[in-house]
Structure 1
Amino acid sequence: MTHPLRSPRLAAVLLLVAAGCGLALANSPASSVAFAVQHFSFGPAGTPFALDIGAWIADGLLTLFFFTVAVELQFELTAGQLRSARNALLPAIAAAGGVLVPIVVYLAVAAPSGLGRGWPVPTATDIAFALGVLAVFGRGLPARVRVFLLALAILDDIIGIVFIAVLFARDVNVGMLLLALVLVVAFGVLSRALGGRGARAIVAAMIVLAIGAWAAMLASGVHATIAGVLLGLAASQRPGMRVAHVLEPWVNGVVLPLFALSAALVTIPRTGSLSPVFWGIAIALPVGKLIGITGTALLAQRVLRVAPSDRIRFADLLAAAALGGIGFTVSLLLAGLAFADAPELRDQAVLGVLCGSLTALVVSAFVVSWRARAHRRQSA
């Protein structure tokens, strides 16, 4: 029997409920307690490992989520839909459009106020949320639409990972970074030795190496979740998929809801106007993604001379593009990183992510339902 927490529908619901609880807590009489818990610090004093609970969730637990994403990415690149350049080209172009247009929209709104540094925030697509909405409302959509969305979201995540690794590294300790890479390579080598004698000892050694790689990455100044990405890409495919399968219920049921709860602990301004940061993200996610993905995908199908029978229809592209506007998990992480030194702007960015993602969720639910009904009628 399939574990209920493997369901994309339930995972999306838990994420939404957790974010709602975080927002409600932060604006309730219990807010002081919630913030005290989030900022409670533990770990060896004077080291990079003296983190508060919010940071342990974002830098520690979220690494498991990035590991599972990287394992899925490795599979798609080697044995899945992205294994051939021809199959990957259309979603790659659409993903590029779905990144560039939101950046332009955000900068048009926020850059005149000197707040352009938040441009990476609306570039992300949340795979779990998008597939959850598709599972709830998309019964009857052609398989090629789901494949296109999955490939698009995975490529989108690659871009988000690059942003995290390149843009938000701070005072990089090259020695620690090299140590992390060596440990990742050793982890990958050991994963290929599984299946023979001494499997338990190898698994124990791999766990030690993975924790060591994470610790070295954190100490290097590069965001610690990148360790999860590298470990997922380095792992041998079969054991990697097995570990990701075991982790999936924990990631869906614990890691992502905890992160959403912690990230959504923001106070809604009671006086004054909302910042251009809020408006830039809240508009760029649903509108920028919709225009960017749909427009570039339509253009790419013509330029690549995709046969009419193999093309994704304009209305189906709209459905996938609307789902692409649900930024959520990675966008929340990028919001925290982009405005780490400005708590008020970070809160505005988080509110923008929640508002923009919710708008995209509602729009995508209507568009996906409309297209699914049309395809069901056509097939009947």
Structure 2
Amino acid sequence: MRISVNPLRGQQFPAVLLLVAAGLGLLLANLPTHDPIAAALDVHLAVPGTSLDLSLAHWVSDGLLAVFFFVVAIELRHELTHGELDSPRKALQPAIAATGGVLVPIAIYLLIAGEGATASGWPIPTATDIAFALGVLAMFGRGLPSSVRVFLLALAILDDIIGIVFIAVLFARDVQWVLLGAAVVGVLLFWLLSRRLGARGHFAIAVTMIAVGVVCWGLVAASGIHATIAGVLLGLVMAPTPASRSRHALEPTVNGAILPLFAFVAAFVVIPAVSPNELSPAFWGIVVALPVGKIIGIGVFGWLAMRIRPRGTEPTLHLPDLLAAGSLGGIGFTVSLLLANLAFADDAGIRDQAILGVLVGSLLSLVVAGFTVSSRARRHRRLAAAS
């Protein structure tokens, strides 16, 4: 009996789909198709009786992407309670490496683009796209020890936490505390309902939870906090059993529709017809900080972290493996694209060049990662064959 495996639950196919969607968005933005697609993305859809009046593009980045962050938050909670980060001992080494993977890209970006209107883009190169990175690892990493994947997973999860904090803290505007307080009450109600849902589930409770979740999203969006934070809060508080079921049910939709659609919309930017020296410092800051900053930051800080171990024992990972993990960390993509939209929301010219920087920097990291990961995988396969 053959077992059918949904490719949208894997790691390789969603990564390829994401790359194709971004490439298609960039291509169509620079063909005669630009104007009609841009006009469609700018169509506004309002919710009657509320202050919510968003363009189609913002419904994708603020609305649909909240579902992605809901799934991410469920994964974060699992890893923090039962997974790779469920104890300080497990979290220490990847936390040190993740710190380097954030600080060094920020420093590189600020050196290149830290003056004037581009200075606010420093959070952009700090993110790692966990789905993309694990997809590349699955493609090229056959034979790598499981410790590399575990380390990368923990590293990317910590990066996600940092990215979520940046989104919540740095890009809040004119916060309406009453609305935010109402959203918190809604989140508590969602938590209580999820505990009632239990292992068997109950249709009426599930429908009520969906309604409460939508209301929470609307309240967070109207409060001045970025709407995706609603997805994070709901995912973090949901009871474990229904959360696991929800993640399993939503995973194909997130991988097959939501993320590719967001990648298409985010990458729908016109390539400026200027010489390289006329490109914004934000573009160059991101292009350099993503591949170079992540490799140096994760490699060096990870190497220092590996010194923290019982005397007489071998390090879990050696420097070449850490550099390979660093190259994977430079694939910023989804969260970096969102951060680029938020950091330069008021300057479309710089925003579009920052998005191009994310695409180019992530692509460079992908190429470097493919080479370094496959090289390390071959070496580990040779060592395994010789032993």
Please say whether Structure 1 and Structure 2 have the same fold, judged by a TM-score greater than 0.5: yes
| 2:69 matches 1:69 | no
Q: Distance in 1 between matches of 2:143 and 2:127?
A: 26
Equivalent pair of 1:48/1:218 in contact (CA under 8 Å): no
Quick one: which of 342, 349, 352 aligns to 1:347?
A: 352
How big is the shift at 1:271?
2.5
| 2:367 matches 1:362 | yes
Quick one: which of 268, 289, 294 aligns to 2:271?
A: 268
How big is the shift at 1:198?
7.8
Q: Distance in 1 between matches of 2:300 and 2:56?
A: 42
Q: Deviations over 1:173-231 (max 9, x none)?
A: 00110111111111111111123888111111111111111111111110000000011
Identity of matched residues, %: 59
Equivalent pair of 1:94/1:293 in contact (CA under 8 Å): yes
Q: Secondary structure at the match of 1:309?
A: coil
Quick one: which of 365, 370, 382 aligns to 1:377?
A: 382
How big is the shift at 1:306?
7.1
| 2:84 matches 1:81 | yes
How big is the shift at 1:310?
4.4
Task: Give the aligned partner of residue 156 of structure 1.
Answer: 159
How big is the shift at 1:112?
3.7
Q: Distance in 2 between matches of 1:111 and 1:47?
A: 39
Equivalent pair of 1:138/1:372 in contact (CA under 8 Å): yes
Task: Give the aligned partner of residue 180 of structure 1.
Answer: 183
Task: Give the aligned partner of residue 299 of structure 2.
Answer: 294
Counting matched residue pairs gives 380
Quick one: which of 329, 340, 343 aligns to 1:338?
A: 343
Task: Give the aligned partner of residue 277 of structure 1.
Answer: 282
Q: Deviations over 1:266-305 (max 9, x none)?
A: 1111135211000000000000000000110111121455
Change (3 A) 1:39 1:306: farther
Task: Give the aligned partner of residue 137 of structure 1.
Answer: 140
Give the TM-score of the pair, scaled to structure 1. Answer: 0.97
Task: Give the aligned partner of residue 3 of structure 1.
Answer: 6
Q: Which amino acid aligns with 1:2?
A: V
Structure 1 stretches of 5 or more lacking a match? none
Task: Give the aligned partner of residue 123 of structure 1.
Answer: 126
Q: Secondary structure at the match of 1:22?
A: helix
Q: Which amino acid aligns with 1:343?
A: A
Over the aligned positions, Cα root-mean-square deviation in angstroms equals: 1.4
Q: Which amino acid aligns with 1:7?
A: G
Change (3 A) 1:46 1:359: farther
Change (3 A) 1:113 1:6: same
Structure 2 stretches of 5 or more lacking a match? none
| 2:234 matches 1:252 | no
How big is the shift at 1:307?
5.7
Task: Give the aligned partner of residue 22 of structure 2.
Answer: 19
Q: Secondary structure at the match of 1:42?
A: strand
Task: Give the aligned partner of residue 214 of structure 2.
Answer: 211
Change (3 A) 1:45 1:266: farther
Change (3 A) 1:116 1:201: same
Equivalent pair of 2:199/2:241 in contact (CA under 8 Å): no
How big is the shift at 1:239?
0.8
